[in-house]
Amino acid sequence: MTLEIMAFGITKDIVGKTIINFEVPSGSSVKELKEKLVESYPRMQDLKSLLIAVNEEYGDETHILSEQDEIALIPPVSGG
């Protein structure tokens, strides 16, 4: 299935654009999506924390994705 994924911050720099269409097997979980993203974009492995939001909520790693989901890559942030 094809997922439309929004990338923010450093993840946008890594993938090279704000929105990517990304192929994963049907029935993939958030955890499996993360693994596939690291395979395709090895620099993502260097991020200390990478959260994936699904439908405007942080995605539990066991959540099963569908093509209708709104998915966003939330990179680590710093502040002070």
Query: Which domains, ranges and CATH numbers included, belong to the chain?
Result: 2-74 (3.10.20.30)
Residue 79, pLDDT > 70, answer no
CA angle 64/25/17 to nearest 5° reads: 90
- At residue 53, the pLDDT reads 95
In Å, how far are 9, 10, 45, 55 from 48, measured between CA atoms?
Answer: 14, 12, 8, 23
pLDDT for position 5: 97
Determine the average pLDDT of the residues in 35-57.
93
Which element (helix H / strand E) includes 53?
A: strand 51-54
Q: Which of 37, 36, 40, 73 is nearest to 54 (CA)?
A: 73
Query: What's the confidence (pLDDT) of residue 50?
Result: 87
3 in Cβ contact with 40 (< 8 Å): no
Amino acid (1-letter code) at residue 19: I
Segment 30-43 mean pLDDT: 96
